[in-house]
Structure 1
Amino acid sequence: MRIGGGWSQSVRSLLGWSGVAIGCWGLCLLALQALFGRQIEGLQSVQLGRELALNVRLTELALERYPPHLVSELTGLDLAVRFRPPMEGSASPFLQRQAKVLQHQLCQRLAHCPMVEASGRSRVVWIELISPLEPVWLRVPLRSPMAWPPEPTLLGSSLVAAAVITGALFLLLEVEQPLRRLEKVLSRVGEGEDPEAVPARGAPEVKRLTHRFNAMVQRLAATRQERATMLAGIAHDLRAPITRLQFRLSLPSLSVAERDRCANDLEALERITEQFLLFAGGGDGEEAIELPLDQLLAEVSSSHSSDQLHLDLEPMQILVRPVAISRAVANLIDNAFSHGSPPVLLRLRRRLDGCSIEVWDQGDGMPADQWDRALQPFQRLDESRGRQGHCGLGLAIVAHVAQLHGGTLSRLPADMNGEDCDSVGGRFGLQLLLPFPLKG
């Protein structure tokens, strides 16, 4: 059934485009006849005048010895014996011009200049012949600009024009529009969304590309779901031993040294579990709300002492996802204390199109060629920190939150810290840009 449906759809498409091609050919032929039919018939009138000159001369010689009806039967010419030709309505200006062209050609090629009269209704011209006994007129029909079959030149030109127009329409409707629709959906996939399947429309090649794209999107969605499920499951499984460790630490039988070691291990497990949960959740389903961002950042940094973490927050209202932003800023602060040296500066500044959140420390920072690697999940520039509860998800979570808000995460050199640089001593900074319109 599927194969038959595909064949029937292909046949309908072929018949439809064949009808479009025939319609374009008819329209192009009419347009060319309207535009160039007059010029072509003017040239044909010149050629007809040359041919009629010989017929007129031979007919006049024959009329000197034979009657008109016999000459008409022998030559096949339409001869009429009368003083004036029958005028069937007034001739159009173009028909009159044709009659003058014919008369001019005959006058150039004959010893005398015959009279040429145009009859409008039947599109004919009457040419007066020299006869010794009675007046004789030669009836010559003229071709209409819209006559069928059309002139070969116009016919060929219209076929070429129809082929070009049909090809352009095919590329526009069957290739360009489906590819543009596919491009829009692809941009949504690049932004982390899971769009619905794209309808397979257009040329067969575009349909095959659409089917493969839909299959890719389904695989990406399944992989993302499996990753989130796996990370959530790992984090959930780690919760149980963490709880048991906390219970054992509360027992009085442990020595102080063992209790400190267990506490350090427990803190590392909690940090790893929290990072897994943050990376698995990602904050994608959180609704954005308008809030005072400076107060939110002050609350996030409240666990650090004022001599270790300096705050420089400009009051502002902005539309953000509060939980995701809190996690991202907390990761930046933790990254500054873990990889840099205190004191740390947390700065919030207003911009024309949003705001800038900067975290500065006194460390040496990281090389520029390792920045892209640092943003990848489970990548640790310092492998020794894996034993301290660092699983390489901190900056990856911040980059994901920035992308979720339509912003960016970037590194800042020391010369960018123009404010309070001497008092704080910031040497390396990370900047989170949120390009949302400010509300206050």
Structure 2
Amino acid sequence: MEEYARIRQESELGIPESERTTPLRQALLLRLGVSVHPLAGTIEEEYQKAFYLDFMSDEITEEIGSPAEARLARDSESYLLWIKLDAMPNWLLRVPLTELTHNEFKPLFINSLLITIFLILGGWGFIRWQNRPLKNLESAAISVGNGVIPEPLPEKGTTEIRAVTTAFNKMARGIEELETDRRLMLAGVSHDIRTPLTRIRLATEMMSETDNYLSEGIIQDIDECNDIIAQFIDYLKPVDRADFSNISLNEMVEELRRALKIYEAGGPLESGLDQDILNYTFDIDLKENLPDIYASYIPIRRTLSNLLVNSKRYGDKWIGIKTGVSDHNKKVWISVEDNGPGIDDEQMQKVFEPFTRGDTSRGSEGTGLGLSIVKRIVTEHNGSIEMSNRKEGGLRVKLTFDAYHK
């Protein structure tokens, strides 16, 4: 109050303002504890360790019209504000914030921490709630890709997610109806075509012995037609995942070996193999303790039969069969090899297309669906197929599946 009265008196006497207020500013700075320190030694180290205040630096710069830098430090009881001005490059202003103690910041810190935790948990829960329908949609889409039509998904979530889920459910039902219609069509076509062929065969077998040369040709043509029909049906018929179980590829090859021994001893010949199969040399190399695969037995057996027919057709009385593992026992593979002329590299991928019979070096017999059926079955089992020419000559086809570990 004394300083204020003195300044008022000096104002009435006409003393300039700068001279009147200087003592007051000095007294105010002294009472607030503001001090000036050289930017050196421990003072400089303390300043460098302090927390930079971006907003306050901008405010001070705007207020004084000169670049300034503000930093916040903490001593044993309260906080300190360090201010560095470009106008005083080698000096620092030290402003003690005695009104701001650590205890006053604890409730603010705790409340801020709790709010942050609640926001994180709430955001995580909201995102999880939003993503659950998308996860279900992803799993259902993978199932449809594998040939399994899932149950209709619950139409929950935001408007956009509900719209996508509704569209997906309609698509899945449409695919299921198309699959049902295709199965009915296959059954009908097979019956309607084979019935007249059977009648023609019966009529041909009743022909006189003098027409044997003619009847034998007709019967052979009928058998070829039946084989073609069977190939078409095998190509179009999807794999039923309800028939999946753990299967041993080694055991499947051993069954082939036993079938050959039975035929060699005068027993019946397994379907898909010709009578001159005994003239072939089989080089079989099976991996011990081979993991099983999770698959449908009949389609996988059909792929092996198709590969054997191809190797027999184009090879020179030698067939190699091998099994093994890869990718740290996560993958199981089986390969079928022959010693024929092989296939040009440019034709490797084309032979898997329907009605493609390979290049001229391997002839042009068959319907051109054998390898297409193999690739389709392998793909529906989430497997892969690889074709390559052997260094010794001939072709090598390798099928790889996921290992089934109990």
Change (3 A) 1:184 1:333: same
Q: Structure 1: which amino acid aligns with 2:217?
A: R
Change (3 A) 1:305 1:173: closer
Deviations 1:284-316 (A, max 9, x none): 242425562232233357644233352414376
1:393 is aligned to: 369
Change (3 A) 1:239 1:309: farther
State the secondary structure of the residue aligned to 1:435: strand
Shift of 1:243: 1.6
Change (3 A) 1:183 1:283: closer
Q: Please tell me whether the aligned partners of residues 267 and 389 of structure 1 are also in contact (alpha carbons under 8 angstroms).
A: no
1:258 is aligned to: 214
Change (3 A) 1:361 1:216: same
Distance 1:375 1:194 in 2: 27
1:286 is aligned to: 243
Deviations 1:93-150 (A, max 9, x none): xxxxxxxxxxx979838xxxxxxxxxxxxxxxxxxxxxxxxxxxxxxxxxxx89xxxx
Distance 1:162 1:193 in 2: 42
Aligned pairs for 1:81-120 (under 5 A) are 108=31
2:173 is aligned to: 218
State the secondary structure of the residue aligned to 1:347: strand
Q: Structure 2: which amino acid aligns with 1:408?
A: S
Distance 1:215 1:313 in 2: 49
Deviations 1:314-357 (A, max 9, x none): 3767455432222111111223344x343341403232445432
Q: Which runs of 5+ in 2 are unaligned?
A: 9-26, 33-103, 260-269
2:198 is aligned to: 243
Aligned pairs for 1:361-400 (under 5 A) are 361-368=338-345, 370-376=347-353, 378-381=354-357, 390=367, 392-400=368-376
Aligned pairs for 1:266-305 (under 5 A) are 266-284=222-240, 285-288=242-245, 290=247, 292-298=251-257, 299=259, 303=274, 304-305=276-277
2:397 is aligned to: 430
Per mean C-alpha deviation after superposition, the further-off stretch among 406-415 and 167-176 is 167-176
2:57 is aligned to: none
Change (3 A) 1:190 1:282: closer
1:357 is aligned to: 334
Q: Structure 2: which amino acid aligns with 1:176?
A: N
1:142 is aligned to: none
Shift of 1:221: 2.1
Q: Structure 1: which amino acid aligns with 2:189?
A: I
Shift of 1:405: 4.1
State the secondary structure of the residue aligned to 1:429: strand
Select the structure that is richer in strand.
Answer: 2
RMSD over aligned CA atoms reads 4.6
Deviations 1:30-82 (A, max 9, x none): xxxxxxxxxxxxxxxxxxxxxxx89x979xx9xxxxxxxxxxxxxxxxxxxxx
Aligned pairs for 1:171-186 (under 5 A) are 172-173=127-128, 175-186=130-141
Aligned pairs for 1:107-256 (under 5 A) are 108=31, 168-169=123-124, 172-173=127-128, 175-253=130-208, 255-256=211-212
Shift of 1:437: 4.3
Distance 2:389 2:153 in 1: 44
Q: Please tell me whether the aligned partners of residues 271 and 389 of structure 1 are also in contact (alpha carbons under 8 angstroms).
A: no
Q: Please tell me whether the aligned partners of residues 312 and 319 of structure 2 are also in contact (alpha carbons under 8 angstroms).
A: no
- Could you tell me which of 330, 350, 375 is aligned with 2:305? 330
Shift of 1:234: 1.4
Q: Please tell me whether the aligned partners of residues 231 and 276 of structure 1 are also in contact (alpha carbons under 8 angstroms).
A: no
Shift of 1:433: 2.3
Change (3 A) 1:364 1:216: farther
2:316 is aligned to: 342
Q: Does 1:314 align with 2:286?
A: yes
Change (3 A) 1:346 1:270: farther
Change (3 A) 1:428 1:388: closer
Q: Please tell me whether the aligned partners of residues 294 and 348 of structure 1 are also in contact (alpha carbons under 8 angstroms).
A: no
Higher relative contact order (CA 8 A, sep 6+): 1
Deviations 1:9-38 (A, max 9, x none): xxxxxxxxxxxxxxxxxxxxxxxxxxxxxx
State the secondary structure of the residue aligned to 1:176: helix
Change (3 A) 1:240 1:276: same
Distance 2:334 2:30 in 1: 95
Distance 1:382 1:290 in 2: 31
Q: Please tell me whether the aligned partners of residues 282 and 324 of structure 1 are also in contact (alpha carbons under 8 angstroms).
A: no
Distance 1:168 1:269 in 2: 65
Compute the TM-score of the two structures, normalised by the length of structure 1.
0.53
Distance 2:200 2:359 in 1: 25
Q: Structure 1: which amino acid aligns with 2:309?
A: D
Shift of 1:283: 4.3
Compute the TM-score of the two structures, normalised by the length of structure 2.
0.57
Distance 1:217 1:105 in 2: 80
State the secondary structure of the residue aligned to 1:195: coil
Per mean C-alpha deviation after superposition, the further-off stretch among 351-360 and 327-336 is 351-360
